[in-house]
Amino acid sequence: MKRKLIIVFLLLFPFLVYSQELVYFNNIYTYNGNYTIGMSVIDNGEAYFGYGATDDIGIYQELFLFKLSYTGEMQLLKTYYEPNYTFYPGIIGGAMIESWDNKFILAYHYSQNGVSYGALMKLDNNLDTIWKRSYTPSYKTASLNCVELSDNGYLITGWVFQSEEDFSDALLLK
């Protein structure tokens, strides 16, 4: 009986060792030592891509875009800045998805001069901006999530405030 158990153990041991080779990491990332909020991350089969906001030059005035290896090493870090914009991804939400052409779509929210906008931004694999679209059908608007449709358009969900005194309404935009 012992002999059979030893043989079974020897046959299964390589599988047990292999299953223990998963990569884990517990890293903290900061941008210039300032307040930084990570918001969304996706796995495109090659690396992890994501975004967040930082107060490097003012309260949430830059988005940061990153690419991480599967072992957690920063491979690429870029910032996106627009004059007089305040980005709110960590507070209000947002999303990053991979598009049909293996690029990325970023749904986010920003304000400028007291008006809030929902926005989509398309990025290439080097995290450079291909295009950006923003919308505000009312006083304040936010993009919370998006999905790509079969016609390569986008369905965006979020919220709107009609005025400062109103409660928010759900937004669904194509």
What are the structure tokens assigned to 14, written together?
Answer: 């390589």
The single-letter DSSP state of residue 14 is H
Is the pLDDT confidence value at 159 over 80? no
Tell me what the mean pLDDT of segment 84-95 comes to: 65
Token pair 């950006």: residue: 132
pLDDT confidence tier of residue 122, bands split at 50, 70 and 90: very high
Is the pLDDT confidence value at 6 over 80? no
d(C-alpha 113, C-alpha 71), whole Å: 41
Provide, rounded to the nearest whole percent, the portion of the chain with pLDDT above 90: 10
Set out the domains of the chain in order of their start, with CATH numbers. Answer: 29-173 (2.115.10.20)
Is the pLDDT confidence value at 103 over 90? yes
Is the pLDDT confidence value at 19 over 50? no
pLDDT at 163: 66
**What is the distance between the terminal CA atoms of the chain, rounded to a whole angstrom?**
67
Question: What is the CA angle 39-91-93, rounded to 5?
Answer: 55
